Amino acid sequence: MHCYSTRGTAPPVDFRTALLQGLAPDGGLYLAQELPHFTPAVLASWRGLAFPDLAAVLSRHLIGNEFPAPVLDALVRDALNFPVPLRRLDERLWLLELFCGPTLAFKDFGARFLARVFGHLLAGSGRHATILVATSGDTGSAVAQGFAGVPAVRVVVLYPAGKVSAFQEAQMATLGGNVTAVRVPGTFDDCQRLVKGAFLDPALARLRLSSANSINIGRLLPQSFYYVASYLAALDEPRIEAGEPVVFSVPSGNLGNLTAGVMAARMGVAVDHFIAATNGNDVLPEYLDTGEYRPRPSMATMSNAMDVGDPSNFARLLALCGGTRAGVRAAVRGERVSEADTRSAIRRAYAQCGVVLDPHTAVAYEAACRHLGGQRPHRDIIVLATAHPAKFADAIREELGFEPELPEDERDWQSRPLLAVDLGDATQETFRALLDSLPD
Ligand SMILES: *Cc1c(COP(=O)(O)O)cnc(C)c1O
């Protein structure tokens, strides 16, 4: 798979190089130069495959020329080893549950795949690396879990003391091994400042610092797989014929999920259109309405992983859609959902469909409900459920009066010992000393 930069001046590279580099040298984002196109018959021949098997087949088609088949197979199956249930909510409404991985959010797909491929490429070259991540909660836990146990890589996750939930802290700070969780006395901005400072620090060069940035093509690619999987699962409904288009409603922030969906559509998944569902941080819906892209500081909402004021994947989405607003509008409709509507969507989904939605998923559900009545001809809508509701217990208790239960094997989280290292103060010197003291 050849990857080009959205800025267009860096030379095209293969997938492995794009994954190791993260950002292209010209500051652009890597995108696949050509994607395979699967006919309805080929797609239909994969119906009934378990998700890890489908992911392995798709990986072979996309990047099989860069890895020996058994190696790629093992990496993919190990990374994407959890189910992706498609659940029926209503006559034409479906819920795709993307929260069955270890951190109970869809970021597991990208983070686990990237971590394993990254570790494999490093180990093959006899090198090692240290991944630095600053987190306000979700990304750090997915990256830490993703890299846990991966050889040749050490992960250092920085989070603000007292500002992540106890469950998020347990997800990052109870792993041990090659994962070091650092509790910073300060804010998320302090964590980010320390990480940026470390990257610029020549005294730390021997650690080969690297980032598992959310714009890495290695995080995007595996996210296209569940679009294929859910489309094939929907075909089990006799009413839906092979080749008949569906609609996807995507809770959107940095637009990685949406961009991966557009890639899946280019590969042959029959998509009528995507709904980019946002909270009040509505840069994309506004762009679709007005043609103006106006990045701005984000504002805080209850769907906080979507609080993004300058979506990092916008350039990719635009490039994939031919570089024009008309191109993006042909594929994507925007829908902004207020806090009040998010709350009432949580209540309505429970009352009408008996399903508990986290606030991010509720935004996409609300957007889908608005579209259901209005579209002619009627299409089936698949709502992407990006987080397990138990991760947002407070919001659910406020709306529904009870707390959703965690999945069985997560319920012991309070009994796992916390292995966090406390940073004495949030200065660069203290952080450097800590990094220096880590074993190679
Ligand atoms: C990150 C995240 C999103 C937003 O996804 P993007 O790819 O950034 O658009 C939505 N929901 C949850 C739970 C997330 O963690």
**Average pLDDT per 10 consecutive residues for the chain, totaling 440 residues:** 93 94 90 95 95 98 96 96 96 96 94 94 87 86 92 93 89 94 92 90 88 87 98 93 93 96 98 98 97 93 92 95 97 98 98 97 98 86 97 95 92 92 95 90
User: Which of 106, 216, 262 should be mutated for ligand 1, with most atoms under 8 A from CB?
Assistant: 106
Q: Taking every pair of C-alpha atoms in the chain, what is the biggest distance, in angstroms?
A: 64
* Location of structure tokens 């805080």: 300
CA of 123 to the centre of ligand 1 (A): 30
| CB 1 within 8 Å of CB 15 | yes
CA of 427 to the centre of ligand 1 (A): 31
Angle ∠(430,432,435) on CA atoms, nearest 5? 115
* 245 CB burial (10 A radius; 0-12, 13-18, 19+): middle
Ligand 1 contact, 306 CB (< 6 A): yes
Atom of ligand 1 at shortest distance to CA of 252? Answer: 9
Q: What is the pLDDT of residue 125?
A: 83
- Is residue 273 lining ligand 1, measured as CB closer than 6 Å? no
pLDDT in the model for residue 440:
67
Q: 265 C-alpha vs ligand 1 centroid, how far in Å? A: 19
For residue 112, what are its two tokens? 């686990």
Ligand 1 and 265: CB distance under 6 A: no
Q: Which residue numbers are catalytic?
A: 107
Ligand 1 contact, 384 CB (< 6 A): no
- The answer to whether 191 and 159 have CB atoms below 8 angstroms apart is yes
Q: At what angle do helices 69-79 and 51-63 cross, to 10 degrees?
A: 140
Distance from Cα 149 to the centre of ligand 1, integer Å: 25
Q: How far is the CA of 137 from the centre of ligand 1 (A)?
A: 12
| Tokens standing for residue 314 | 């916008």
Whether omega before 70 lies within 30 degrees of 0, making that bond cis, reads no
Residue 79: Cβ-neighbour burial (10 angstroms; 0-12, 13-18, 19+): buried
Q: Around 126, how many Cα atoms within 13 Å sit in the side-chain half-sphere?
A: 0
pTM of the full structure = 0.94
* Cβ of 209 below 6 Å from ligand 1: no
Atom of ligand 1 nearest to the CA of 107: 15
Pocket of ligand 1 contains residue 315 by CB under 6 Å: no
Q: How would you label 159-180 residue by residue, b for 16+ Cβ within 10 Å and e otherwise?
A: bbbebbeebbbbbbbbbeebbb
Which ligand 1 atom is at minimum distance from the Cα of 253? 9
Q: Does ligand 1 have an atom closer than 6 angstroms to the CB of 251? A: yes
Q: Is the CB of 256 under 6 A from ligand 1?
A: yes
CA distance 259 to 314: 8
